[in-house]
Amino acid sequence: MKAIALQNGFGIDHLESIEVPTPQPVADEVLVKVQAVSLNYVDLMVVTGKMNPNLLLPFVPGADGAGTVERVGTDVTAFKPGDAVVTTFSGELS
């Protein structure tokens, strides 16, 4: 799947569109197809390296998003595929 990631350093100039493997949700996770994101101060601090300069790259930043549940882990009962959801401060959206 496509993601916007910090590839070779920090700064807006280092954001690139890349292909990443589609994650598989474990027991208590959901996989969300992200359809919208908002960029906020936390994202700026992460992208510029001021929040956590020791992040392993590549890193897909993202604190807030909205989308549709695609898959759920075996222990998830509150959500099902097709549900519309919002995320908040997940730290990474890809």
Residue 50 falls inside a structural domain: yes
Show the domain range for 83.
Answer: 2-88
Residue 94 lies in a domain: no
For residue 93, tell me if it sits in a domain.
no
Burial of 84 (0-12, 13-18, 19+ CB in 10 A): exposed
Q: Is residue 59 part of a domain?
A: yes
Query: How many distinct structural domains can be found in the chain?
Result: 1
As a whole number of angstroms, the distance between CA 93 and CA 78 comes to 21
Q: What is the CATH classification number for the domain harbouring 74? A: 3.90.180.10
Q: Domain for residue 69, yes or no?
A: yes
- Please classify residue 47 by burial: count the beta carbons closer than 10 Å to its beta carbon, then call 0-12 exposed, 13-18 middle and 19+ buried: buried
- pLDDT tens digits along 37-76: 888 888 899 999 998 889 899 998 888 889 999 999 999 9
Q: Please indicate, yes or no, whether the overall pTM of this predicted structure exceeds 0.75.
A: yes
Q: Nearest-5° angle of CA 93, CA 31, CA 67?
A: 65
Confidence band for 94, pLDDT divided at 50, 70 and 90: low
Neighbouring CB atoms inside 10 A of 72's CB total 19
Determine, yes or no, domain membership for 44.
Answer: yes
- Residue 39 inside a domain? The answer is yes
Contact, 63 vs 91, CB < 8 A? yes
